[in-house]
Amino acid sequence: MKGINMIQLAKELGLSVSTVSKALGDSHEISSSTKKRVMELAKKYNYKPNPFASNLRKKKGKQIAVIIPDIVNNFFALAVDGIESVTMAKHYDTFIYLTHENLEREKSVLEHLENGLISGLIISVCTGREGYGHFQQFYESARLPMVFFDRVPDLLQFPKVISNNYESTFESTERLIKAGSKRPLFIQTEEPLYTLMERRRGFQDALVANGISFTDESLITCTENMEDNYLLLKKLFSSRKRPDGIFAPIEKFAITVYQVCRDLKLNIPKDLKVIGMTNLRTAALLNPSLSTLSQPAFDMGREAATLLLKMIEKKSYAAANDIIVLANELTIRDSV
Amino acid sequence: MKGINMIQLAKELGLSVSTVSKALGDSHEISSSTKKRVMELAKKYNYKPNPFASNLRKKKGKQIAVIIPDIVNNFFALAVDGIESVTMAKHYDTFIYLTHENLEREKSVLEHLENGLISGLIISVCTGREGYGHFQQFYESARLPMVFFDRVPDLLQFPKVISNNYESTFESTERLIKAGSKRPLFIQTEEPLYTLMERRRGFQDALVANGISFTDESLITCTENMEDNYLLLKKLFSSRKRPDGIFAPIEKFAITVYQVCRDLKLNIPKDLKVIGMTNLRTAALLNPSLSTLSQPAFDMGREAATLLLKMIEKKSYAAANDIIVLANELTIRDSV
DNA sequence: AATTTTTGCTATAACGTTTTCGTAAAACGT
DNA sequence: ACGTTTTACGAAAACGTTATAGCAAAAATT
């Protein structure tokens, strides 16, 4: 007994389809008595309007897409949780697409979504600052509301939800220095990314503000290949000029630092003070407990979704230039 | 310049819409020369068929739904990753719905999906073994392919992807015992769940097989409230009859055990040997490194999705009774 | 009482596809 | 040459909604 449709409802009620449609839409054109009749029969038969028919006719639906680099990462998982909490409440359906830091994949997802399946987009871009053109292009042709969060394309005018990366990294770095670090190190990625550049800027300014010179040795570049990173850091940490403090602006880098220290038997925090930017729930249980700068991931997701739905419903998809900034949270534990 | 449609394509080509439709569908009714003409113009205009129109007409689409209790959990995140890897490859779109262990939410998602938005479902149920009726009911009325993974409704006949919970828990428990544990403890949940019952059965049988009697004290019941659990475990661990080994069949319980031990200054593994069922990437970095029984989460997701798409495409949604069993992996570290 | 306005409903045309059926023309068989 | 099949396309009817326009009857206004 597959779902009933409006036509059958109308027939049984002795009404026209249009009346039924309007009644279900709670239109003022319909008397409250017939409305009630319709609603009741609809409930009795568990009638559900066919979203394809309805979306086709209305030329829009209640589906949105989330494009993120990764889901196996507490930050993004929390963000999705936040997003879902609002789409769920507002009866939107949420598609999820993972790019795995692959620009081509990001492009192809976007291209796919030009078919009109969705009414809005929440995005966190993958690394690499070259490729923002596809977003602009997508917007030109699809004209859909888009909200970026955390990893945002700084060069594009879109609504964004970010956290205070510069300030909080500045503060974190100062804590490293005040705890005694003379040679702090910042781990940067191969591919540039606005979010990370802000963190780096905070790091750099904190050094300078505290009388430490910022040199080539204040930075190391890690890649997507975790084994390479492990070896790279191992080599650096074994050298005579090894750093005595680390700010890891990405979760997995912090983990690698711990692995290397464990294997080299370096003492954290004595030999090396560590602050990692992460939302790991187990940070406090690591050996030693990891000092973290954590992002309000859930809230960022929630804010992004709230903003997006507002744009969708108000049809104000003019590239609103709202930027919502939330605060990161620094938690100092034994690793500093 | 919003997307072009078939009608405009047909007009420009001097063909009928049906011909264009068939050409794009690579129908044998159309000559290869016109096919080429059509394809080329379609590509030129970046034509994308409207999925709503197409789904409406065909009465099915390329969208599936994933219903899971939680995404902020490495197991489920990995599983979603696995699912997405295959839906992506096969050009399906993936909806995500989080139940947060809330049965009502689970029911309402299911009810919502009776509107026909999707062509198939991948589910991991929330705790509580009473409420499987809604799945059966959904299937009766929607007749959609459904695949369950990990947390499966044992009482229902549906295709399932699980891991060898009984055997691997048996083995894990034996390791605890062989490492010297005389009084192993199993943490169970308030709400029963087949998956967990299997693990408990493995635990119990391992005790018996190794000459340890299985009593009320071999079990403790934790809830969804982590603070309560913390206090409960703290009390137990402070008592004289405290256990000297723990099998935590859920990630968050293992974390709580660590928290309690840290705060009570209990030495792991000397005072308490711990094995946790988890997919935490940081297990090796905990203090001390946590011995884990981990599930092949990504693979489970991948298998579930592969099976589902097969069912969708073969239209064999007869409640196939396939059960795919993958192997968990035991990694003994310092906590034992 | 004659008029305008409002109320409550219906008929019908979209929305953009896919599918079924029909049919000329071309190809084939005898 | 004639009938039959195949090829390549088009016309039109779905799919299940929603939106627009129209229209009686009832209510309100003059």
Domains of chain B: 6-49 (no CATH), 60-163+298-326 (3.40.50.2300), 165-294 (3.40.50.2300)
Is residue B159 predicted with pLDDT exceeding 90? Answer: yes
Nearest Cα residue in chain A from B117: A51
Q: Which residues of B touch A287 (CB under 8 A)?
A: 285-289
Q: What gap in Å lies between CA A58 and CA B130, rounded to an integer?
A: 40
Residue B48, min C-alpha distance to chain A (Å): 5
Lowest-confidence segment of A77-81, A317-321, B290-294, B303-307 by average pLDDT: A317-321
Output phi, psi for A91, to 5 deg: 60, 40
Residue A164, min C-alpha distance to chain B (Å): 23
Residue A51, min C-alpha distance to chain B (Å): 6
Sequence-distant (≥ 6) Cβ neighbours of residue A205 within 8 angstroms: A166, A170
Relative to beta strand A329-331, strand A291-294 is antiparallel
Nearest CA among A316, A312, A319, A315 for reference residue A63: A312
Angstrom distances, CA of residue A39 to CA of A19, A43, A67, B196:
12, 6, 37, 42
Residue A6: CB less than 7 A from any atom in strand D:
yes
Is residue A1 predicted with pLDDT exceeding 50? Answer: no
List, in sequence order, every beta strand (DSSP E) within chain B: 63-68, 93-98, 120-123, 146-149, 160-163, 184-189, 219-222, 245-248, 273-277, 291-294, 323-326, 329-331
Q: pLDDT at position A291, please? A: 97
Q: pLDDT at position B317, please? A: 57
State chain A's mean pLDDT as an integer.
Answer: 94
Is residue B130 predicted with pLDDT exceeding 80? Answer: no
B116 nearest nucleotide via C1' and CA: D16
- What distance, in Å, lies between the first and last C-alpha atoms of chain A? 64
Give the mean pLDDT of A280-299.
93
Place A2 in a pLDDT band, splitting at 50, 70 and 90: low
B56 nearest nucleotide via C1' and CA: D15
Q: Which residue is nearest to nucleotide D9 (CA to C1')?
A: B19
CB contact under 8 A, B285 and A88: no
Q: What gap in Å lies between CA B286 and CA A104, rounded to an integer?
A: 36
Task: Copy the structure tokens of residue A3.
Answer: 């779902």
Q: Kindly calculate the radius of gyration of chain A based on its CA atoms and give it in whole angstroms.
A: 25
Predicted confidence (pLDDT) per residue in A41-68, tens digit:
999 999 999 999 999 999 999 999 999 9
Give the mean pLDDT of A153-170.
95
CB contact under 8 A, A71 and B77: yes
Give the mean pLDDT of B103-113.
96
Is the CB of residue A95 less than 8 Å from the CB of residue A63? yes
- Name the burial class of residue B161, with classes exposed (0-12), middle (13-18) and buried (19+) by CB atoms within 10 angstroms of its CB: buried
Residue B16: CB less than 7 A from any atom in strand D:
yes
A10 nearest nucleotide via C1' and CA: C10
Mutate to test the interface with B, among A1, A66, A71, A140 (most CBs of B within 10 A): A71
Q: pLDDT at position A267, please? A: 95
Residue B19: CB less than 7 A from any atom in strand C:
no
Other Cβ atoms within 10 Å of B325 Cβ, number: 13
Residue B315 gets the label, from left (phi > 0), alpha (psi -120 to 50) or beta, of: left
Predicted confidence (pLDDT) per residue in B79-99, tens digit:
999 999 999 999 999 999 999
Q: pLDDT at position B16, please? A: 95
Predicted confidence (pLDDT) per residue in B135-157, tens digit:
999 999 999 999 999 999 988 89
Q: pLDDT at position B311, please? A: 93
Q: pLDDT at position B2, please? A: 67
Of A55, A142, A255, the CB nearest to B52: A55
Q: Which residues on adjacent β-strands are paired with residue B68?
A: B98
Predicted confidence (pLDDT) per residue in A230-251, tens digit:
999 999 999 998 999 999 999 9
DSSP three-state, residue B57: helix
Nearest Cα residue in chain A from B288: A287
Residue A52: CB less than 7 A from any atom in strand C:
no
Residue B151: CB less than 7 A from any atom in strand C:
no
Mutate to test the interface with B, among A108, A285, A290 (most CBs of B within 10 A): A285
Is residue A129 predicted with pLDDT exceeding 90? Answer: no
Q: What gap in Å lies between CA A284 and CA A243, rounded to an integer?
A: 23
CA of B5 to C1' of C7 (A): 40
Is residue B329 predicted with pLDDT exceeding 80? Answer: yes
- Name the burial class of residue B59, with classes exposed (0-12), middle (13-18) and buried (19+) by CB atoms within 10 angstroms of its CB: exposed
Place B1 in a pLDDT band, splitting at 50, 70 and 90: very low
CA of B29 to C1' of C27 (A): 16
Of A50, A73, A287, the CB nearest to B287: A287
Q: pLDDT at position A315, please? A: 65
Q: Which residue is nearest to nucleotide C14 (CA to C1')?
A: A57
Q: pLDDT at position A144, please? A: 93
Other Cβ atoms within 10 Å of A26 Cβ, number: 10
A38 nearest nucleotide via C1' and CA: C9
Residue by residue, DSSP assigns A167-217 as: HHHHHHHHHHHHTT-SSEEEEEESS--HHHHHHHHHHHHHHHHTT----GG
CB contact under 8 A, A51 and B88: no
Q: What gap in Å lies between CA A219 and CA B235, rounded to an integer?
A: 48
Amino acid at B90: K
Place B281 in a pLDDT band, splitting at 50, 70 and 90: confident
Is residue B319 predicted with pLDDT exceeding 60? Answer: no
Angstrom distances, CA of residue B297 to CA of A77, A103, B78, B126:
15, 26, 5, 17
Place A285 in a pLDDT band, splitting at 50, 70 and 90: confident
Q: Which residue is nearest to nucleotide C9 (CA to C1')?
A: A19
Q: Which residues of B touch A46 (CB under 8 A)?
A: 114, 141
Task: Copy the structure tokens of residue A11.
Answer: 């027939």
Of B77, B143, B288, the CB nearest to A72: B77
Give the mean pLDDT of B324-331.
97
Residue B89: CB less than 7 A from any atom in strand C:
no
CB contact under 8 A, A71 and B81: yes
Chain CA centroid to CA B126, Å: 10
Chains A, B: CB pairs < 8 Å: 149
Mutate to test the interface with A, among B101, B117, B144, B264 (most CBs of A within 10 A): B117
Is the CB of residue B124 less than 8 Å from the CB of residue B101? no
Most confident range, picked from A11-15, A73-77, A125-129, B166-170? B166-170
Q: pLDDT at position B318, please? A: 55
